[in-house]
């Protein structure tokens, strides 16, 4: 696990490609979440931990050219990729900047601050929420979409191999001190940061496609990359055939498979 990079999954090209594939699957869920949170035309929105730009590029649509999105990301290479993606698809209302959430300051008061898969990582998420809320104008929206890993495990419990991948994932994230149950804590965390109780929604991508069956496998490969934890890998059998075995398991059960359950939480600052 590449925790020395500051991001538990590292910044390898394979991880970047995985994040983009994942983002396409999660787009409808993200759009619905942003709509519920009240992001609208003309808003100026800060996207924290923008990564390869997937949240920023979706935000660009509701805010329209009358608004703007600022994507803040601490990995310079990811920003280059995000900028290139925005240029390729002709998005002009998104700007990506290099920086750390902890050190970020701005004279501007934003209409919205949004983050996805971000509060999993910091040791003090309440401090992060408090700091970001202070960047909003009165009535501005703070919104996070974060995972609830064990809920995904419950949905996929009838698929033993899929479930075993989830257990390995849970253990690997726990070793990196990443809190994959943070989605279930958002309601309390917002209030601990001095904010009004948030509104919530719960979503999960789910279907019977190979891509969904492979989701946990691909995430697991990213988590394990470089560490070569042989004991953990051995418990899943031969890795090369794992995607096929996951697909076969799902099809034999005539079942669908769920990706991560995501909790969306948002509130307006007074």
| Near ligand SAM by CB under 6 A: residue from 63, 101, 141, 186 | 101
Distance CA 114, CA 63 (A): 13
One DSSP character per residue, 175-215 reads: HTT--TTGGGGHHHHHHHTTPPPPEEEEE--EESSHHHHHH
Q: Is 85 in the site for ligand SAM (CB under 6 A)?
A: no
The least distance separating ligand SAM from the CB of residue 244, rounded to whole angstroms, comes to 27
Cβ proximity to ligand SAM, 193 vs 250, nearer residue? 193
| Near ligand SAM by CB under 6 A: residue from 42, 102, 160, 194 | 102
Residues 16-45 vs ligand SAM: string with x where CB under 6 A? Answer: ---x---x----------------------
Q: Is 147 in the site for ligand SAM (CB under 6 A)?
A: no
- Residue 109 phi/psi, 5-degree rounding, is -105, 120
Closest CA to 165 of 125, 222, 109: 222
Q: Is 118 in the site for ligand SAM (CB under 6 A)?
A: yes
Q: Is 73 in the site for ligand SAM (CB under 6 A)?
A: yes
Do the beta carbons of residue 93 and residue 68 sit within 8 Å?
Answer: yes
Q: How many helices (H) and strands (E) does the chain have?
A: 10, 9
Sites of contact with ligand SAM (CB under 6 A): 7, 19, 23, 49-51, 54-55, 72-75, 78, 100-102, 116-118, 121
């Amino acid at each position: 696990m590449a925790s020395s990079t500051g991001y538990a999954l590292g910044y390898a090209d394979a991880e970047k490609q995985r994040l983009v594939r994942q983002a396409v699957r999660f787009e409808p869920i993200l759009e619905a979440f942003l709509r519920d949170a009240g992001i609208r035309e003309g808003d100026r929105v800060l996207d924290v931990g923008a990564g390869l730009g997937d949240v920023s590029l979706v935000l660009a649509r509701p805010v329209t050219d009358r608004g703007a999105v600022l994507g803040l990301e601490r990995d310079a290479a990811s920003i280059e990729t995000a900028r290139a993606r925005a240029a390729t698809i002709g998005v002009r209302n998104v700007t990506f900047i290099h920086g750390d959430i902890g050190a970020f300051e701005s004279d501007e008061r934003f209409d919205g601050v949004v983050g996805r898969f971000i509060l999993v990582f910091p040791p003090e998420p309440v401090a992060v929420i408090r700091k970001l809320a202070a960047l909003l104008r009165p009535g501005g929206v703070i919104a996070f979409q974060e995972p609830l890993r064990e809920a995904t495990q419950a949905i996929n419990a009838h698929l033993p191999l899929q479930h075993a991948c989830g257990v390995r994932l849970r253990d690997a994230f726990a070793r990196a001190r990443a809190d994959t149950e943070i989605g279930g804590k958002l309601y309390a965390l917002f209030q601990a940061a001095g904010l009004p109780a948030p509104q919530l929604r719960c979503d999960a991508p789910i279907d019977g496609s190979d891509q969904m069956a492979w989701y946990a496998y691909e995430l697991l490969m990213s988590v394990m990359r470089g560490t070569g934890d042989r004991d953990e890998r051995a418990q899943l059998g031969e890795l090369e055939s794992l995607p096929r075995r996951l697909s076969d398991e799902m099809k034999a059960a005539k079942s669908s498979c769920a990706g991560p359950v995501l909790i969306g939480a948002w509130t307006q600052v007074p």
